[in-house]
A and B are shown apart, each in its own frame.
Chain A
């Protein structure tokens, strides 16, 4: 008796109409697919940020083992893993590197706005304000980013202190449509 085998899956090599990438097709195929991709993206962001923080502050895996009092194997599994670890574990690792991790929700569907807790917004705002108003080591014209005048920068994180906005601080509202697009900067453009 001859065994029959199913036909091999036919593969469509042509780019589909509308120019969707394979992953965009998949994301649109079902809620499950979109959720799976969102989970994988977040997991990769976690390990990427961990690696970035370690590199920037020159913390080796061995240093991290010492700080966390964990075995090299355990740390390696997180640092070089797929990021799919307990949320509390993520918190411990980033705290060991000197950070409190926080979440920001980026809208990917119509009718949603970016969301974060008040503390997260405050943390971002504090760092931004500190960057602008902290002690100065150098300065440069800010025209390329669409502002006229000069802004001054801090030299080191350690120099930071709480700063209040100066009285001439103006809160400029940004139209929503501009927030969702990346501006194309024109050299010499001023606001």
Chain B
């Protein structure tokens, strides 16, 4: 595999921002479900939404801004704005939540590895500083966005969780095969 350019959703702007970058993960074939979700939602044209009102759904455009603001908050603070903004799904796969939109994510140091972060049971030192949600773990410096889906039931569809795990493996493989390309220098996120 060759070096991949991931689209960056959010990047560090201040020295004390928690994360370096929040990026769209890239599959082995070079596709990026997160970019597709992001761009189509931004234009009100995300067709997986069962309530999509073509051609440009104003609800999707509004939710896109709100979802971005939540993601950016996590980038800056290292923890979600509210307890309802994120949810742990399985094996270190988390989801951002806004209205009926769900977007999977995970963390990585950016070197092709990851340690699956689960919910923290007890506050020892795992959580980010000043995070009011004791269950939220201290994530690594890069967050990667996987696949998205519309909320239709109480639980996230298992096939979507599996899809997110597969994307994580394929995405991390890009970093392992191109060592050094994921090393983020200050201002180079």
**A82–B66 touching, CB < 8 Å:** yes
B44 to chain A, nearest CB (A): 12
Partner of B26, one of A13, A23, A41, A50: A13
Q: Quick one: closest B residue to A10, CB to CB?
A: B39
Q: Is B1 an interface residue (CB 8 A)?
A: no
- For B103-136 the 0/1 string (1 means CB < 8 A from A) is 0000000000000000000000000000011000
| Residues of chain B in range 39-53 having any CB-CB distance to chain A below 8 Å | 39-40, 42-43, 45
Q: How large is the interface on B (under 10, 10 to 19, 20 to 34, 35 or more residues)?
A: 35 or more
State whether A41 and B7 are in contact (beta carbons under 8 Å apart), knowing that A13-B30, A79-B82 are contacts in the complex: no
Taking CB atoms, residues of chain B closer than 8 Å to A48 are: 73, 77, 81-82
How near does chain A come to B131, taking the closest CB pair, in angstroms? 9
Partner of B132, one of A21, A37, A45, A52: A52
- Inter-chain contact A47/B81, CB cutoff 8 Å: yes
Residues of the B chain whose Cβ atoms lie less than 8 Å from the Cβ of A51: 81-83, 132-133
B82 (CB) vs chain A CBs: closest residue: A51
Cβ of A36 < 8 Å from any Cβ of B? yes
Q: Closest approach, in angstroms, between the C-beta of B133 and any C-beta of chain A? A: 7
| A15 touches which of B5, B45, B99 (Cβ 8 Å) | B5
Contacts of A24 in B (CB 8 A): 11
> Are B30 and A55 closer than 8 Å at their CB atoms?
no
Task: Find out whether the CB atom of B32 lies under 8 angstroms from the CB atom of A21.
Answer: no
| A55-B9 contact given A11-B35, A11-B36, A80-B84, CB 8 Å threshold | no
Residue in B7, B43, B65 whose beta carbon sits within 8 Å of that of A22 in the complex = B7
Report B-chain residues with C-beta under 8 Å of the C-beta of A182. Answer: 14-16
A contact patch SS: helix
Q: Given A13-B32, A15-B6, does the pair A43, B132 have CB atoms closer than 8 Å?
A: no
* Chain B 14-45 interface mask (CB, 8 Å, partner A; 1/0): 11100001000010001110011011101101
Find chain A residues with CB under 8 A from B8 CB: 15, 19, 21-22
CB 8 Å contact bits of A31-57 with B (1 = contact, 0 = none): 000001101110111011011101110
- Is B166 in the interface zone, CB < 8 Å from A? no
Task: Write the nearest CB–CB distance from A76 to chain B, whole angstroms.
Answer: 9
Given A23-B72, A40-B66, A80-B82: A11 and B11 interface contact (C-beta under 8 Å): no
15 CB < 8 A contacts A-B: A9-B40, A11-B36, A13-B5, A13-B7, A13-B26, A13-B32, A15-B5, A23-B68, A23-B72, A39-B65, A41-B72, A45-B73, A48-B81, A55-B133, A80-B84
Residues of A within 8 A of B (CB): 9, 11, 13-15, 19, 21-24, 26, 36-37, 39-41, 43-45, 47-48, 50-52, 54-56, 79-80, 82, 84, 181-184
- 16 more CB-based (< 8 A) A-B contacts, given A22-B9, A22-B38: A9-B45, A13-B7, A13-B35, A15-B6, A15-B8, A21-B10, A21-B11, A22-B7, A22-B8, A23-B9, A36-B65, A39-B65, A40-B68, A51-B82, A51-B132, A184-B15
